[in-house]
Amino acid sequence: ETNYEDFSHFLALFVLDGTAIVINFILIIAIIRSTPATLKSFSALLLFSAIVDSNAAFMSLLATVIVKNLEGSIIFVYLGPCRFIHVQVCYAAQAIHVQSIGQSCVLLILSFSYRLWSFSHTIKNGVHAESFARLFCLCLLSTIPAVITTITFSNSPSSPPQSLIDHPQLVGRLFSVFNMTAPHLLSTDNVLPRVSIGYIICLYLTSSPILFILRRKLLQKIEIMTSPSEKHRHHLIFRSLTLQMFMPLSFSIAFVFWVLDFLGVYRLDVFQRAIMPISSIFAIISPLILIYYLPPYRRYV
């Protein structure tokens, strides 16, 4: 039976993820219908990011996961409607959700990189459509690592030992086990779960430093611009990207919670339950920032 804490957790994620899906859907419509010519190529990144964020929110809602750390393993407890479909649907939904959040970081890095590239490659009128297509294809190519790790992540759960099946926190629940134990770092023991989890952790931790470096370079480029109108337009995009770049910090906070619990430094149920809601915040705030700071989309909404 679902207890009060589980119901509250499900309700919190339902509200967060449901809100994220609606907001990203509105942003997608705004991008399709109201993007001006000056933002046509860059809108490929915005559109792709909104699709990824809405996908992450939907998969999070489908799985509705609580993260637990028991006996050297990461346990994903599933509370969502995937339970009524098939266990593999739960595995796939959680894998896609985790990798989609990581892909949002990759797309943010691409956004900064594209703005830097655009300063040295002036886009002439008449090639916007082609540039949009090329940039959208680049976004698709950037998902290759995420697709690979989604497959490995989906196939990483191992059979739970009897001690976990009988564990008071897991009895009667649908869960998957990611065994992270290994005699040494380069061991092939439990390599799939360690690589799958390790990739996303590295992505979370390295994205913020990379974004800070790109932000500084982009600001230097904007400051030397002579056209007031162009400078203002670039500043609006720059501000939205700057606010978005702080979103990966929410993943870092969630990661700290997880490490404290995983290492047994400080075990608290709220830490385990906070990880997934914190990761869901990105999919809400990111589109809100874009809608607020980019006038064409703000006017449309």
Structural domains of the chain ordered from first start? 4-119+132-300 (1.20.1070.10)
Single-letter residue type at 80: G
The reported pTM is: 0.86
The pLDDT of residue 123 is above 70:
no
191: phi then psi, degrees, rounded to nearest 5: -70, -35
Strand ranges in the chain using DSSP code E only, listed in sequence order: 65-70, 73-78, 174-179
Q: Which residues contact 223 (CB under 8 A, 6 or more apart)?
A: none
pLDDT band at 88 (very low <50, low <70, confident <90, very high): very high
Rg (CA), the chain: 21
pLDDT tens for residues 218-261? 888 888 777 777 777 777 777 887 777 766 766 677 677 777 77
Sheet holding 174-179, edge to edge: 65-70, 73-78, 174-179
Lookup result for tokens 């804490």: 5
What pairs with residue 75 in β-bridges? Answer: 68, 177
Burial tier of 49 (Cβ tally within 10 Å: 0-12, 13-18, 19+): buried
Residue 282 · residue 245 · CB < 8 Å: no
Residue 60 structure tokens: 């999070």
pLDDT tens for residues 91-100? 999 999 988 9
C-alpha neighbours within 13 Å on the C-beta side of residue 212: 7
The pLDDT of residue 58 is above 90:
yes
pLDDT band at 48 (very low <50, low <70, confident <90, very high): very high
Lookup result for tokens 């266990």: 87
pLDDT at 16: 94
74: phi then psi, degrees, rounded to nearest 5: -95, 125
201 or 165, which is more confident?
165
Strand ranges in 73-186 using DSSP code E only, listed in sequence order: 73-78, 174-179
C-alpha neighbours within 13 Å on the C-beta side of residue 190: 19
